[in-house]
A and B are shown apart, each in its own frame.
Chain A
Amino acid sequence: MCLAVPGKITSVKSNNAEVDFNGVKRAVSLDLVPEARKNDYVLVHAGFAIQVLSPEEAQETLRLFAEIYGKEHQDAASGPLSHLKP
């Protein structure tokens, strides 16, 4: 029941946002994240955004996974994580 889904805010009108969940748009309340702005990524639970997500930290997590667990990929240009390299 604590399921929450990430989406991107496409518009904001007072404390109500329209959020894009990979193509499906829904009205979402920003009452719990008043700091959220258009183009922010938010975590949505039961019609409310509950936290602003950080794309940089998502990227950083993936980079850490690649660094810790992806040794065999680091030499392969075609490896699934190759595009993450600077």
Chain B
Amino acid sequence: MKTSAAEKFSSPLWRDRALAATALAEMETLTARAAAKTGTTVNFMEVCGTHTMAIAASGMRRLFPKGLRMLSGPGCPVCVTSQGDIDRVLALAAVPGVIITTFGDMLKVKGSGGRDLQALREAGADVRVVYSPLDAVALAAAEPARQVVFIGVGFETTAPVIAGAVVRARKAGLKNFSSTAFFKLVPPALELLLSDPENRIHGFMLPGHVSAIIGLAPYRFVTEKYKVPCVVTGFEPLDILAGINMLLKQLAAGRPVVEDEYFRAVRAEGNPAAQKLMAEVFTVSAASWRAIGTLKATGLSFSKAYSSFDAIKRFRIPYSDAPEPRGCLCGKILLGKALPPDCPLFGKRCTPSSAVGPCMVSSEGACAAWFKYGG
């Protein structure tokens, strides 16, 4: 039988209501069993912002058992970018003659001066939203007299893509293309959460597309050292329900392992070609996280061989620590210590049309998801 991509990978079966109802019924039973072990509400964290959005958009949160809570984690790239790095993005946009190219999510993140890229664009800065960093490379080739800067933020899914664009720019001999490398790494972020004495996370729904790149081995410490269950999960509603049930089963059985629910896309070894390219262009380095600070070996920056593509070096943009917006709970929300409605600004002074913090700005921020779809 001939089947299309639609039938295999985006078939309505991935969202089948009857199957979801059975999965939710099983979740009730499993939650009771797991809660008997933990003695409290079961707290799982979806690390990835794309999961946050998928959970919110499906409306499944209100169908979860009472004893189960899904916390949003530090996996929204715009949300975890420090205020100091946001200020550096805005400083780049203010360099005369520079064309800033960016994913759309960055446009409305406010700097500590209260301005964002959109405001700078309205004031005359050349800021363009692109779909791919390759569009920025093509623009650099078409505009040899202008400097084109790509705003590189993200995790291990996005870093190799930008590495690929940088390598193409070098092959094309482009001297007018550069990028920021405000990349964060997921495994050190998990370690950060787990080493907190106040940690109350009983299991991680691991990001599907980061894992498609890095594979399963980098997560082993979570189950071996911290004994916390892990399931790499896909993004369809049934994937998410199955992922949660797999976590509950591990918790109830007291046997934490790294499981792969998303095996149609995630292999144990990840994507070796992407890992190689990422290691060639970038090197593990300190990264500055919103509300957490600068931490050693938690991010990526340009390797020596590719340092000439570093926009921050090319335009000599200094870093200075900047405070978070006053009253904003984004930092606590990213660490799973608060939910969006816990924030006094949520839905009042802070809404998607007039956002105070990045968790409301980014389309996949926890606050934006709660605001749009309800808790």
Q: Which residues of A contact B (CB under 8 A)?
A: 1-4, 6-8, 20-22, 29, 31-35, 41, 43, 45-48, 50-51, 53-55, 57-62, 65-66, 68-73, 79-81, 84
Contacts of B154 in A (CB 8 A): 1-2
Stretch at the interface among B131-139, B310-318, B344-352: B131-139
Complex A-B: 8 CB contacts under 8 Å: A2-B209, A2-B210, A4-B157, A29-B134, A48-B160, A48-B164, A65-B19, A69-B242
Kindly state the interface size class of chain B when it binds its partner.
35 or more
Q: Is B367 an interface residue (CB 8 A)?
A: no
Contacts of B339 in A (CB 8 A): none
Q: Is the CB of B133 within 8 A of A47?
A: yes
Q: Is the CB of B22 within 8 A of A51?
A: no
For A80, the closest partner residue in chain B by CB is B16
Stretch at the interface among B1-9, B34-42, B86-94, B115-123: B1-9
Q: Is the interface of B mostly helix, strand, loop or mixed?
A: helix
Contacts of A71 in B (CB 8 A): 22
Q: Is B334 an interface residue (CB 8 A)?
A: no
Q: Is B221 an interface residue (CB 8 A)?
A: no
Q: Is the CB of B161 within 8 A of A48?
A: yes
Q: Is the CB of A70 within 8 A of B158?
A: no
Known: A1-B105, A47-B131. A32 touches B274 (CB 8 A): yes
One of A6, A48, A55, A84 near B132 (C-beta < 8 A): A48
Tally of A-B residue pairs with Cβ under 8 A? 167
A53 vs chain B, min Cβ distance (A): 6
Q: Give the complex CA separation of A2 and B213 in angstroms.
A: 11
One of A20, A50, A79 near B157 (C-beta < 8 A): A50
Known: A32-B274, A65-B19. A3 touches B164 (CB 8 A): no
Q: Is the CB of B13 within 8 A of A80?
A: yes
A12 vs chain B, min Cβ distance (A): 15
Q: Give the complex CA separation of A8 and B258 in angstroms.
A: 30
Q: Is the CB of B18 within 8 A of A72?
A: yes
Known: A32-B161, A61-B264. A47 touches B132 (CB 8 A): yes
Q: Give the complex CA separation of A66 and B11 in angstroms.
A: 14
Q: Is the CB of B265 within 8 A of A53?
A: yes
Q: Mark B1-33, 1 if CB is under 8 A from A, else 0.
A: 001111011111110101110110010000000
One of A3, A33, A62, A81 near B271 (C-beta < 8 A): A33
One of A50, A54, A55, A66 near B19 (C-beta < 8 A): A66
Q: Is the CB of B50 within 8 A of A3?
A: yes
Q: Is the CB of A47 within 8 A of B161?
A: yes
One of A1, A41, A60, A70 near B76 (C-beta < 8 A): A1
A46 vs chain B, min Cβ distance (A): 5
The 10 lowest CB-CB distance pairs between A and B, nearest first, are A47-B132, A6-B9, A69-B22, A57-B264, A2-B157, A69-B19, A58-B264, A32-B274, A31-B164, A51-B212
A26 vs chain B, min Cβ distance (A): 9
Contacts of A81 in B (CB 8 A): 13, 16, 19
Known: A1-B155, A48-B164. 7 other contacts (CB 8 A): A1-B76, A2-B208, A32-B273, A32-B277, A46-B103, A65-B23, A80-B12
Q: Mark B353-375, 1 if CB is under 8 A from A, else 0.
A: 00000000010100000000000
Q: Is the interface of A mostly helix, strand, loop or mixed?
A: mixed
Q: Is the CB of A55 within 8 A of B8?
A: yes
Contacts of B168 in A (CB 8 A): 29, 31
One of B3, B5, B209 near A22 (C-beta < 8 A): B5
Q: Is the CB of B160 within 8 A of A50?
A: yes
Known: A46-B132, A48-B132, A58-B264. A1 touches B49 (CB 8 A): yes
B144 vs chain A, min Cβ distance (A): 22
Q: Is the CB of B263 within 8 A of A50?
A: no
Q: Is B73 an interface residue (CB 8 A)?
A: no
One of A41, A62, A70 near B18 (C-beta < 8 A): A70
For A54, the closest partner residue in chain B by CB is B264
Q: Is the CB of A50 within 8 A of B9?
A: no
B87 vs chain A, min Cβ distance (A): 20
Q: Is the CB of A2 within 8 A of B19?
A: no
Q: Is the CB of A43 within 8 A of B161?
A: no
A8 vs chain B, min Cβ distance (A): 5
Contacts of B5 in A (CB 8 A): 6-8, 20-22, 41
